[in-house]
Each structure stands twice: as C-alpha cells, then as structure tokens.
Amino acid sequence: MRLIFQPSDDENELSCSVFGKLACVYYLQHQTIRFLLSELKDNSNIEELLRILTHVPEYSEIPVRHNEDLVNTDLQKLLRIRFSTSVMDSSHVKAHLLFQAHFTRLPLQTDYRTDLKSVLDQCMRILQAMRDICMIKKWFATAVNITVLQQMCYSARWYDDHPLLCLPHLSEDEAYKLGANMTVPELQDRWGVSPENIDREMVVRKNLKYLIDRSTLEEAAAKEVIQAVCDWPIVSVNGLKLLSSGGYPDSSSKFQSGKTYRLVMTLRMAGRRGKNVPAVLPKWTKDKQASWLVLVGVKDSNHLLPMTQISPFAGERRIRVDVTMPNVKGRTHVNVFLMSDCYLGIDQEYAIPIDLE
C-alpha cells in the first residue's frame, strides 16, 4: 500500500502518495495504479501499451455473454493482434478486441457496439494516468507513444494506417490514389488550404472534380471529404527558443546542467479551427474540441523534461514552459513535440541543439 499511502509527519497518520493522488484525480482503483506501475516501462511500444490499457481492473466488468467466446474467436480472425482461443471468455481480451475493431472500423453487432462505447468512455482517464506516471518517471518515449494511442482512440485508426484514412468516407484504395504517403497537411497544400486562405466553398469548387475522378465517392460524400480537409487544424509554431531564468536569450548554445531555463513559443491556430468548432472525429462517441500537448525531453537519453497540456484556443497562444536541464554534460538536443490529443499525423517535432556544462 505504500505506493498509494505514505507516512506523514504525524506518526499516527498516513498521507496520499503522488500515485495515490493519480487514483483520486482519475477515479481509478488503487489496484489499477499498482498494475500500471508494474507494467509500464521506459520504452513501451504501442502494442504493449494497448495490452496494458485493456488489462486494467476497470475492464474486468466488460460482459462476456453466452457464446460470445465463439464470437470473439471469429472476430479476432479479422484483427491484427490475436490471442489463444483458451482466453476468449476473458473480459480483458474482449476489451482488447473491441479496441482493435474500433481502430480497424469493423462493423459490430448491437451488443458489441454498446460494449465498445463503454470501453471508450473509460479509456481517456486511464491513458491520462499512464502518461502522468511517465511524467513522474521521466520516460519520454513511452509518454509519446501513449499520446499516439490516445490519438488512435479518438480517430479510430491504427497509427500506421494510411494518414488519409482518418478522413470520412475514403477507402484504402482511394487514399493511395491520392498519394501513397500523402498526409492531410500535404493534401491541404495541394488543394490550396493555407493559414491565409481557408475558403471552404472555393476549395470545394476547385477540387471536387479532382477527387471524384480518383474515387468512387458520390458528390455529397466527396464534398464532406474536402470540407474535412479544410477543417483539419493548421497550427504554426513561431519564436521557439530557450531563455535564461531572467527571461533573456542566452548568448550561445551553452547551458548549465541541472539549471532551469524557460522554453517559449507562440502557437497560431488558423481557419475554422480557430473558432473552436468540434474536431473531425466521425467515430468518436461525442463532440470534442482538439487540445494539444507539449512534451519536452532529450530523445538521445529518453529523458522527459516537462510536459504541459494546452486547452482549445483561437488565434494565438503564447506558451511558456520551465525546463530543468538533465544532470549530464556534452552536446545534445532538447526535443520539443507539439502533439494533438486527438488527431493522428499532424504532430510537430523540433530539436534545439545545446551544449551542457
């Protein structure tokens, strides 16, 4: 129980530990926090994180009804990660299959759609607790991968799917016809969607025939695809730099290990996203506005420095983050990730070269 409670100054009292506070903040069982601490590692990949997510005690209540072990066995044949048939009656395995079906956008029978909604409704607070544990442990790679898994849950796609499959209506063949590795930001460039010009009607007029000629979409569906491209967030980063504790730019790239500096940047949100309209998430259970995360760390040593969440915003937002340098010496980079909390494929990464003394 020491993971949850710790002795206080008064010998007759116990106080809540930092991990116990996570259980309180995210309404999780203390067994869940203990499980996450035992299973999360400094370099957990997305497949490992999905297994950890679906095996927390909160998912032990997912019902496995009569003969659903047989349904699960048939369902997993359509999915990329499979289990032994001997565990098809497990609530945790069913939760795993439901997540996979969600990422693959498979049609499900009525009871399974209800169960999927229950699974999705709980996942965000669990993922947030997982990321907070990484922040406490200072694990950079796992924190990034948890954020990608969160994006997968919102977008209902695998992280390695064709990027354009996050758009409504497009099939895999149609996505590849638009470009083998085409991303939504690249498609925005091709179709003339820019921070200075997001006229949806004009973009639809100019590109409707182009899309219809390269797909089997009807006109109404093709218009929805182009409108979604117009609505996809365009966030620009300006003025990214590290300042001294006094708020002044350092005259060189030399920094003191263990010393705190201030990372500053200005984010600019363009277009309709600047009006805080709902994110384009056709398979999510409710309307949501896009938020953002800034993760700062040293990739070379997998060391997470600060992490901060940015609420939905319009126009410009000035970001200030205090960064305490790791206690190492030599040439390295401070890596800054600007990540969407819900969109796949639009994350931005910057590297600031520094010399630590």
What local confidence, expressed as pLDDT, does residue 196 receive?
74
Domains of the chain: 5-155 (1.10.3380.10), 163-231 (no CATH), 234-356 (2.60.40.150)
* Pairwise CA distance, residues 88 & 98, whole Å: 12
Kindly give the pairing relationship between strand 254-255 and strand 348-356. parallel
Radius of gyration over alpha carbons of the chain, in Å? 23
Tens of pLDDT, residues 255-291: 999 999 999 999 998 866 555 678 999 999 899 999 9
Mean predicted lDDT score pLDDT of the chain: 92
Task: Give residues with Cβ within 8 angstroms of 146, minimum separation 6.
Answer: 49, 127, 130, 131, 134
Tens of pLDDT, residues 221-243: 999 999 999 999 999 999 999 99
* Pairwise CA distance, residues 8 & 97, whole Å: 43
What local confidence, expressed as pLDDT, does residue 129 receive?
98
Owner of token pair 């996570």: 22
Q: What is the mean pLDDT of residues 201-211?
A: 94
What local confidence, expressed as pLDDT, does residue 277 receive?
76
pLDDT > 90 fraction of the chain, expressed in percent and rounded: 83
Q: Is 245 exposed, middle or buried (0-12, 13-18, 19+ CB in 10 A)?
A: exposed
Phi-psi region of 41 (alpha: psi -120 to 50; beta: other; left: phi over 0): beta
What local confidence, expressed as pLDDT, does residue 32 receive?
96
pLDDT > 70 fraction of the chain, expressed in percent and rounded: 91
Burial 126-155 (b: 16+ CB within 10 A, else e): bbbbbbbbbbeebbbbbbbbbbbbbbbbbb
Top-confidence range, 47-51, 210-214, 240-244, 331-335: 47-51
What local confidence, expressed as pLDDT, does residue 217 receive?
96
Task: Give residues with Cβ within 8 angstroms of 220, minimum separation 6.
Answer: none
What local confidence, expressed as pLDDT, does residue 17 receive?
84
Q: How confident is the model at residue 119 (pLDDT cuts 50, 70, 90)?
A: very high
Q: What type of residue is 183?
A: T
What local confidence, expressed as pLDDT, does residue 124 receive?
98
- Asked if residue 313 has pLDDT above 70, the reply is yes
What local confidence, expressed as pLDDT, does residue 29 receive?
94
Q: What is the mean pLDDT of residues 130-137?
A: 98
Q: What is the mean pLDDT of residues 15-19?
A: 82
What local confidence, expressed as pLDDT, does residue 248 receive?
56
* Pairwise CA distance, residues 342 & 228, whole Å: 15
- Asked if residue 63 has pLDDT above 90, the reply is yes
